[in-house]
Every structure is written in structure tokens, then in C-alpha cells.
Chain A
Amino acid sequence: MSVTSPVLSTAGRTIEAHWQELAVRRRLYTIGGILFMVLAMGGSFWFANESNAGKFFDRLPHVFDFIGQLVPRDGLELWRALFDLPSPYDDGSLKYNYPEGRVYVTESAYIPEYIYKMLETINIALVSTLIGFGIGFVLCFLAASNLTTRRWLRFFVRRFMEVLRAFPEIVIAGFFLAVLSLGAIPAIMAVSIHTIGALGKLFFEVVENADMRAEEGLRAAGANWVERVWFAIVPQVLPNFLSYALLRLEINVRASTIIGAVGGGGIGEALRLSISRAHEAKTLAIVLLLFCTIVAVDQFSAWLRRRLVGNQAFEFGG
């Protein structure tokens, strides 16, 4: 394929020169950007490696040793650990004392320890999502510019939600751990406070995109602010609200596991202890349980969301 290139006029040459100049500048920007990223990443890794307890290249061959350390003595050990059945290897140590920690519901029926702890973690997530939903629901209308005309109020509510969102959860948990001693309530407080901020922000953005005609109709009929919000805005935004709350529930299950690991009770604590004590069957049982629960919660929430709002895509994470 050959294209005959006609001789360019002066104007044509100017355009060509200008285009080439632009191309050069673009290439410079790209190279500069890549160089910057390479330097930043290199610096980051160097710094991380220097300040780590173990050095990257020394530890690299051993990093996946934990997989080897996780192999239980026989395949059934995993199920024994999961369902609190007695182990044939029981030697009185913590490693094989599976039947301990059963939670008896009746004389003979019991809930295995880890499943009970998993339920605790799920309940922490559920309670905090509900609390966060309730308070975020009230606050979001005050932060929406189409419903609240007072600037200072909007400004105040938004900054308040931002602080709740950015405040490190671990500090709230740590503070209430100091006051209330170990348990689930510090975890609930920490996760709900973060949830209020995160849901409140998503909610008021939904409210600001709501159709205002219904609200105008009610205003014309003389409805007050609460009536206008309740009858004109809420029915429109509720499916989206619920869908965001479900997404938040997924995140909160993970968050309450992490908070659990630093003293908030539930499965996270059990996992941290069993990993640090190198209990292979127990660790595997908890990881399996956690994995299945997270997958189940994600699937359930995805199914419910599809029913609520159809196949609408959502911004992910939080």
C-alpha cells in the first residue's frame, strides 16, 4: 500500500510541525509519568524492605511455607475442627481440643465454636449495618442540596459524615475496648460509626439525583418538609438505598472480622490466635468457614440487589 504524499503547502507544513510538536510533548509526558511511577514504586519497595522485620529476598523462598504448615494430620481433622468433634490425636494441648468451646443450645445439641463465632461476626455486621442505615438515612436528607436550603446545615452535616467516615475504626474500637473490656460491642460501635459516614455520603448523592417533580407536587398541596421527603423522595430512593446498604453489609462482614482480630471478639480473634499458635486444622477450618460465609453473603446480596434495582451497576467498595 503506497500513498503518494503531495508536496505540502506552507500552511500544511505549519500544521504538520505543530502536530509533531504536540506528539513529542505527549510522548515526553508519558515517559515522564512512567519514570515517576517507576521511581515512586522503587522507592516504596526499598523503603518497605528496609523497615520490614524480614527482608524480601531472604524471606521469599519461605513465604509460602505457611501452606505447608497448614496441612493437617489427616483429611478428617478439618471437619473435626470445624464441627468440634473429638480428635484421635488429642494430647491435652490446645491444638487438638476441638470439643472445647461448644455452645450447647439444649442438653445434647450444640453449635460448634467457630460457627458460633462466625454467627457473632455476622451479627456484628448486621447490627452495625442497620444502625448505620438508620442514622445515615436521617442525615442524608439534611445533606442533600435539593432538600436542605440552609448552607451551614448542609456543610455541617457533610463534614460530620466525612469525619465519621475517615476516623480510623480501630481507634473507636480501641477506645471502647478500654472502657467496656473485650467483647462485641466495641466492634459494633466502630463498624456502625464508619457505616453512618459511608452510607450517608452515598445516600445524599442518590437523593440529589432524585426526580423533584413529585416533591413539587406535594409542596403545591402544602405538605411540610417531612411529608415531602417521606412521600416524594423516599419511595424513589429506597431501592437504591437498600442496595447500597447490602453492599455495605458485604464490606461490614469483612470489617467486623478485622476488628475482631484486634480484640472485638468473633471469628477474627479465633483466626489470629490459631494462626499465631500454628494450629493447622483449626486455621484451615476457620479460613474455609470465613471464605464460604463471605462468598455466601456476597452472592445473597448480589441476588437481592438484582431483585431490588435490576442489573444496575454500582460503584464498588467503600
Chain B
Amino acid sequence: MGAFHAHEAEALAARYPDVFARSLRSRLTGWLIAAGIVAYFLFAWWFFSIGQVLANGNWGIAGIYMADWVSYEVRPDIEFRDNHLEISFPRFSPLGENPDPAWLVEKRAIVEIRPEEKGSVLTGAASPSGGFLGNLGGNEDTADESFLGALGGGQPNMRRTDEVSSETVLKTRREEAVVEASVSFGSGNRVDVFPERVEVTRGGEMLILDIVRDDRVEVRGPLPAWASQREPGAKVFVYFGFSGRAEIGNDEVTVRRRFLGWENFVFDTRSPFWGRPAGEVISLIVSGERLDPERSNAALAWNNFLNNAEWQHGDVWLKLLQTIVMAFAGTVLATLVAFPLSFAAARNISPNRVGNFVLKRFFDFLRSVDMLIWALFFTRGFGPGPLAGISAIFFTDTGTFGKLYSEALENIDEKQREGVRSVGAAPVSVQRYGVVPQVLPVFLSQSLYFWESNTRSATIIGAVGAGGIGLKLWEAMRTNTDWENVAYMVLLILLVVFVFDNISSALRRRLIGAEPGQH
């Protein structure tokens, strides 16, 4: 084989001009289509004002929402007092009633606690002049003895003056209190809180903030990249990536410490089993003494698990079952109704042209009035719940199955029918033995396919009120705080869809033989 020369290529090109020199039109078509698509995308960009919406999007919060899927936050507040600190957790903290986490180290000491109200008694006389100046920056707890403090206190202090002055002047107490709190954010990063200053350490860098209580936060030195402050004196935000962040204000430090995992997934904090290691729970259930004298530990554990306030396992499962039932009952019912109707609609089986036409348009109508419209109507009719969902799936799919089945019937092999008819069988027997064996596997396979896809549809129409997990999912998303519950429900849905997908394709394979692409 010799070399292929340029002049040979030219000779070939001259011999087959239609291959090598395509017409301008066929060369341009591809480019024109591409240009059209680009132009359309530009139009869509303008039509939906995508640029603007994306720019206005709250992307910072997107990261937090994503993290919420697989993790949870614990949010202690550390308030500054005169010479000590007060640590509080929100009421429904994932750590239970009396949290004492290892990552929050407190140092206690005996301190003199001056009552907070003292200032208002002394400065009460001056406060009327402060009234019209308004609240210059302090809040009710302002306990400064200076004249300015009274100005800052403003209206609230005046009222208190009357209450307190009737009593005796409060005395200072000596009590044990927190004088130093250290919040660890893992790998050496931490926030150390003292009554008059906060030290933040991250990756070897250290940021020291001086707190002028109820007035300002002062930063010593330059702010590192992981901290931010809107204006001098304002709150300082420090970020530790996934492990959390802290807001350091002039009255308190708000800590958001994030941990990987789903908190209290099995038992919530009210359960007597909460906080016990798995082995202990199992031994309690198997052979422990009754925690609740009225029922066995197993029943109690099961009840506590189902009624977990945070995860609502029982309710979620019930709603999931509703969705499954919606898809199943709707599809089966549609199959049963569409089966006889499709025989009447098929041209080769019932010779009535008007009947064929009317039925086929009826199928088109059912199918084209969207599942959404049916779902909204039936939600009005039956009230929210799975009945509305079943009806919506039933109506839409009767249309779809009617169309698919009658098309399949019109494509059958006529020879079998003729054979059955030639031996003198009755019309019903002709259909039963001449037609049904041919189409039944196809019908069932189509129904199975739709069963599986309806499981997904049922989730969506649930959100408009047709019952099932869709509504629950939608409600969880609306709160914007329960993304871990969303993740849980999504996992359950994925699991159900996966299982049904496999059941349906296994059954279909048995019905109509191997399918391509099922590996």
C-alpha cells in the first residue's frame, strides 16, 4: 500500500462532488441550528431575567441549607454580664434539657454579682431628661452608673425605677459563676469568651476582640479573612467552615456549632431511652426493668421511636404508604377500566367508526387534561388525601392506557383471530383466545412501567394537596429549617422508587423477554 497523495484526494473529491463539496445549505444547517439555540437561550435569559435572579439569590444560605441535609447545629448563647458570663441553650436543643457538651468548657469562680437593677435606682432622677433623646444604644439591662447610661436606658429604665424604688436597695451577692467559656471548633480552632474580651483562634491566627458591654465590639489588629464586621464597633462574625460560626455582639456571643449526622434520629430528648448507648437500649428492651409500669420496654421504645418529635417516623411512613397506595390503586384501576374500553376503541375489533372515534377522543381528553388539573379538582371534591390522588392518577392513566392499548390492539396479528373464528367460536371467545394472549404481556408491561413512573408523579401531585409524602415534603421545605427531614424523606422515596423500579423491570422482563439496556 503506497502513500496517499494530495492529488489523489483531489481526484477523489472531483469524482464525488456530492460527498466532498456539500451544498451551502447542508453545510450551513448545523451552524444555523446552533445559532438558533444560542439565540433562544439568550432570549430565555432575558425572558426569565435569569442573570438578575441569580445575582439576587441568597447563595450564602444555600450552603447552610445543603449542610443542614446531613448535619445539625447546636446553638449556645454566651451572654456577657458585669464580671461573669451566662450560658444558655435554646429550649428544644438537640442536646436535651441540661446540655453539658465536651466542646464547651466553662471555668467557674466565686464572683461578686451586682444586681443589674442597681443603676436604674441611682439614676432614676436623671432619666426624665433622657426620655426624648430616645434609646441611644443600650438595652434594658443597662446598668451603667454614669449619666450617659441613663440616657441610654431611656424609657424602660424609668418604668423600672418606680417598681424598684419601692423596695430596698439590692445588695451584691457572692456566688459561683462562669468567668470563662471556651468553645472548641475542632483541630485547635476555638473561641474563648471572657467577660470583657473574646479571643478567637483559627489555624494559628488569633483575633482579639474587646467588648464594651452593650456598646461596641473593638477589634485589636487587622481582621483576618475568616472574620467580618459590617462597620467599626458592630457585630463580628467569625467562620470556621463546616464546623460552624460565631457572632460576637456587644451583649452576647451566639455560637453555631455544626456536627455531622442526624441528631436524635431514633429517640428524641423526651424519651427515657435518649442518650443511652445502643447496647444499653437493647439490653433494656430485651431484659431491663420496665421504665413505664404500664407497658413493656419494647412497646415503649417502639412508641417513642414512631412519635419522635423531630423526625416523626410514624407519620412519614404513613404518608409514604399513602403515596405508594395512590400509585398502585390508581394504576390498577386505570388498567381495569381501560382494558375493556380499548377493545371498543380499536378499529379492527369493534367496527363501529363513530364509537371508535368518540372513545379515542375521550382518551385524549382524559390524558390532555393534565394530572395536575385532575388532582386539583379531586382535592376539592374529596378533600385532601390519597383518594384525590388515586382519582387523579386513575383519570389521567385511563386516557393513557386507553390510547396505548387500543394502538397495540390495532397492531395485532390477525391470523390468530381468524383461526379461532374459523372453528366457530363465539365473539367473546375469539377475543379471549385470539387477541388477549397476544396483547396481555404488552398491556401488563405498559401498566407496570406506568406504575413505577406514577410513584414519582404521586409525590409531586401530593404537594398540591392530593395527599401522601409530597405534602409532608413540601411542608418540611417551607419551614426552611427542617432540611434534614427533607433528606430523610428523599432517601425513603429514592429507596421506594429503586425497589419498585427493580420489581417492575423484573416482572416486565418475565412478561416480554429481555429488554435492551437493562444491565
Contact = CB atoms under 8 A, between A and B. Distances in A.
Task: Tell whether A pairs with B.
Answer: yes
Interface of A: 37, 40-41, 44-45, 47-49, 51-54, 56, 59, 62-66, 120, 123, 126-127, 130, 145, 158, 162-163, 166-171, 174-175, 177-181, 183-185, 188, 201, 204-205, 208-209, 254-255, 257-259, 261-262, 268, 271-272, 275-276, 287, 290-291, 294-295, 298, 313, 315-318
Interface string B52-77: 01101111011001000000000000
22 contacts: A51-B318, A52-B467, A54-B381, A62-B381, A63-B391, A127-B44, A130-B37, A171-B473, A174-B486, A180-B57, A181-B56, A254-B370, A255-B460, A258-B460, A259-B460, A261-B372, A262-B474, A275-B376, A275-B380, A287-B373, A290-B369, A316-B404
B377 interface: yes
Contact of A48 (B47, B390, B446, B501): B390
Given A291-B369, A295-B368, A168 B48 contact: no
B385 A54 contact: yes
Contacts of A261: 372, 376, 463-464
B368 A291 contact: yes
Interface string B432-469: 00000000000000100110010010011101100100
Given A48-B322, A54-B383, A295-B364, A179 B44 contact: no
B368 A168 contact: no
B410 to A, nearest CB: 11
B356 interface: no
Nearest to A48: B386
B368 to A, nearest CB: 5
B385 A37 contact: no
A174 B473 contact: yes
B273 interface: no
A52 B58 contact: no
Interface in B347-376: 364-365, 368-373, 376
A171 B493 CA distance: 11
B477 A171 contact: yes
A179 B57 contact: yes
B490 to A, nearest CB: 6
Given A41-B332, A130-B40, A272 B464 contact: yes
Contact of A275 (B48, B377, B460, B461): B377
A177 B53 CA distance: 11
Report the 10 A-B pairs with minimum CB-CB distance, sorted nearest first: A52-B385, A53-B383, A54-B383, A205-B517, A174-B477, A63-B381, A48-B386, A44-B329, A52-B387, A180-B57
B516 interface: yes
A52 B389 CA distance: 10
A168 B460 contact: yes
Interface string B491-519: 00110011001000000000000001101
A226 B61 CA distance: 40
B149 interface: no
Contacts of B48: 120, 123, 127, 183-185, 188
A126 B388 CA distance: 30
A198 B346 CA distance: 31
| Residue of B37, B376, B480 ringed by the most chain A CB atoms within 10 A | B376
B9 to A, nearest CB: 14
B382 A168 contact: no
| Residue of A51, A56, A123, A294 ringed by the most chain B CB atoms within 10 A | A51
Contacts of A40: 328
B474 A145 contact: no
A88 B157 CA distance: 61
A257 B370 contact: yes
Given A254-B371, A254-B372, 15 more contacts: A48-B322, A59-B381, A65-B381, A126-B40, A166-B456, A167-B490, A171-B477, A174-B477, A179-B61, A180-B53, A188-B48, A257-B370, A290-B369, A313-B407, A315-B449
Interface string B471-491: 001100110100000100010
Contacts of B494: 163, 166-167
B384 interface: yes
B377 to A, nearest CB: 5
Counting chain B residues whose Cβ lies within 8 A of the other chain, the interface size class is 35 or more
Interface of B: 37, 40-41, 44, 47-48, 50, 53-54, 56-59, 61-62, 65, 318, 321-322, 325-326, 328-329, 332-333, 364-365, 368-373, 376-378, 380-388, 390-391, 400, 404, 407, 411, 446, 449-450, 453, 456, 459-461, 463-464, 467, 470, 473-474, 477-478, 480, 486, 490, 493-494, 497-498, 501, 516-517, 519
B477 A175 contact: yes
- Majority-rule SS of A interface residues: helix
Contact of A179 (B59, B383, B463, B493): B59
A51 B384 CA distance: 9
Given A53-B385, A59-B381, A275-B380, A44 B328 contact: yes
Contact of A317 (B385, B400, B486): B400
B65 A168 contact: no
Given A51-B322, A166-B456, A178-B477, A208 B372 contact: no
Nearest to B370: A254
Given A130-B41, A168-B493, A290-B373, A208 B54 contact: no
Contacts of A291: 365, 368-369
Contacts of B407: 313
Contact of A145 (B37, B467, B519): B519
Nearest to B326: A48
Contacts of B318: 51
Contacts of B370: 254, 257-258, 290, 294
A271 B517 contact: no
A72 to B, nearest CB: 16
Contacts of A268: 372
A166 B498 contact: yes
A168 B456 contact: yes
| Residue of B58, B446, B456, B516 ringed by the most chain A CB atoms within 10 A | B456
B253 to A, nearest CB: 28
A291 B366 CA distance: 10
A52 B325 CA distance: 12
Contacts of B400: 316-317
Contacts of B371: 254, 258
Contacts of B56: 180-181
A262 B404 CA distance: 30
A249 B48 CA distance: 19
A246 to B, nearest CB: 15
| Residue of A45, A54, A158 ringed by the most chain B CB atoms within 10 A | A54
A170 B517 contact: no
A52 B461 contact: no
Contact of B473 (A64, A168, A188, A259): A168
B382 A41 contact: no
Contacts of B381: 54, 59, 62-66
A261 B375 CA distance: 11
A62 B338 CA distance: 24
A308 to B, nearest CB: 14
A169 B504 CA distance: 21
